[in-house]
Amino acid sequence: MQRPYRLSCHCGDICVEVDADLSGLIECNCSTCRRSGFLHWKVDSASVRLITEKRRLSSYIWRGLTEGHHFCPTCGTAIMRSGYPENRVSLNARCIEGVDVFTLEIEHYDGRNDMYPGPLP
């Protein structure tokens, strides 16, 4: 599949296009990533474009006011995370249409032991 990539939640209410290279995927085992199955694809926020009409995203804010885990309020699919430096966002690569993530190179990050945990849920 070629750029731009199209990502959507399970019900299709949220759909975005991303004009960026599909590389640098990271799977993390921190408390939120391991529960949600989020597969990080960090891109410049300017490369992301909403292609469905504007919809409400639900957000879960845990560590700070400038970061959040954003998901579809209808189907619950986690689609994006914000709060990264340099105008970057992390998209859930598992939401890319027409791409089998099992065929992609994925780096593993030990967020469980490497990240400052804050209060654990």
Cα–Cα distance for residue pair 64/106, rounded to 1 Å: 27
Cα–Cα distance for residue pair 48/54, rounded to 1 Å: 14
pLDDT band at 17 (very low <50, low <70, confident <90, very high): very high
Residue 117 lies in a domain: no
Cα–Cα distance for residue pair 74/97, rounded to 1 Å: 19
Domain enclosing residue 51, as ranges: 5-110
Residue 79 lies in a domain: yes
Q: Which residue has the higher pLDDT, 53 or 41?
A: 41
Residue 26 has pLDDT above 90, yes or no: yes
Sign of CA dihedral 39, 41, 42, 43: negative
Residue 116 lies in a domain: no
Q: Which two tokens stand for residue 7?
A: 């990502």
Tell me the CATH number at 43. 2.170.150.70
Q: What pTM does this model have?
A: 0.87
pLDDT band at 28 (very low <50, low <70, confident <90, very high): very high
Residue 120 lies in a domain: no
CB distance 93 to 105 below 8 Å: no
Residue 24 lies in a domain: yes
Residue 88 lies in a domain: yes
Residue 118 lies in a domain: no
Q: Which two tokens stand for residue 56?
A: 């409400």
Residue 30 lies in a domain: yes
Considering its fold, how many domains does the chain have in total?
1
